[in-house]
Amino acid sequence: MEARIRIRNTKSILFKGVIVFLAFLITVPLIIVLLYIIKQGVTQVNWHFLTHVPAPVGESGGGISNALLGSFIMVMMSSVLAIPVGMFAGIYLSENPHTKLAYYSGLCVDILQGVPSIVVGIVIYFWLVKPLGTFSAISGSVALAIMMLPIVIRSTEQTLRLLPPSLKEAALSLGVPYHRVILKVIVPCGFAGILSGIMLSIARIIGETAPLLFTAFGNPYLSSSITKPMESLPHLIFTYATSPYDEWHNLAWGASFILLMFVLTLNIITKLITRKWNIQL
């Protein structure tokens, strides 16, 4: 009996060690990427880098202010388009889980989540860019909004399903109308989880390049017109990293560092919110 217990303990320690090793192993690529981008990009970031547009070919200096402004505008526009629609769709799916409409809607959300980003870009190109006759920030924002929708919908649905039914029952028993129960009781109680999903969706789209190649296209100048082509951080990185000029390579490394820090910050904030409120996304 003692020998069998000893063998079981040995197996348990062995498997635990393998699991810990594999868990550490999957973090190695992330650590390598983080350290390499920080090493290459942090030296390029300064106030001039953040407040000036890229310099012409052959001139030193320049910055990424056009890409920062373009990414900010397009992310804000896509959030305005996707967040209300995604929240209301998630509310419907959580409140009516057994209807045919909810079933097929959930199926469409799952399929949409798996659609490659470049396919979304091509579709928006034929839907908006060709009819409008020009690339624009509007087209880019619509493409990014479509990519945001599945994450916002699913995070809203799963968060609201975790709430106890007694919350809604108590509000309804007091005579509160159904729509006010949803908007004033249910949604505020699950707001932390919904906010976490929104942050994850923003972190998902902020680094997308493929759909913007077909929609926003890029702009070497500082532009705030949403009906004209607009630069973004991912597109700038793609363009400058594939160029033959060392100065542009440096701009690409600096922009990569800024983009990485932004995405990393959003993910850390999301983790802190989910841990504080015990949210399961």
Model confidence pLDDT, tens digit, residues 98-112: 899 999 999 999 999
pLDDT at 271: 81
Same domain, 95 and 33: no
Residue pair 267/281 in contact by the 8 Å Cβ criterion: no
Alpha-helical regions (H) of 209-245 = 210-214, 233-241
Residue pair 216/136 in contact by the 8 Å Cβ criterion: yes
Least confident of 65-79, 117-131, 170-184: 170-184
Same domain, 20 and 73: no
Least confident of 20-34, 151-165, 265-279: 265-279
Residue pair 87/148 in contact by the 8 Å Cβ criterion: no
Same domain, 26 and 55: no
Number of structural domains the chain divides into: 2
Is residue 281 predicted with pLDDT exceeding 50? no
Same domain, 13 and 100: no
Same domain, 118 and 249: yes
Structure tokens of 18? 């393998």
Same domain, 31 and 57: no
Is residue 60 predicted with pLDDT exceeding 90? no
Same domain, 80 and 26: no
Same domain, 152 and 28: no
Q: Which residues contact 221 (CB under 8 A, 6 or more apart)?
A: 53, 66
* Residues 172, 184: Cα–Cα separation, whole Å: 12
**Kind plus residue range of the DSSP H or E element containing 81:** helix 65-95
pTM over 0.75: yes
pLDDT at 58: 72
Taking all residues of the chain, what is their mean pLDDT, rounded to a whole number?
A: 90
Same domain, 174 and 35: no
Same domain, 6 and 131: no
**Domain range holding 185?**
47-277
Q: How confident is the model at residue 278 (pLDDT cuts 50, 70, 90)?
A: low
* pLDDT, tens digit (0-9, with 9 covering 90-100), for 151-169: 999 999 999 998 888 888 8
Half-sphere exposure of 223 (CA within 13 A, CB side): 17
pLDDT at 259: 93
Largest CA distance in the chain: 81
Same domain, 25 and 74: no
Same domain, 22 and 56: no
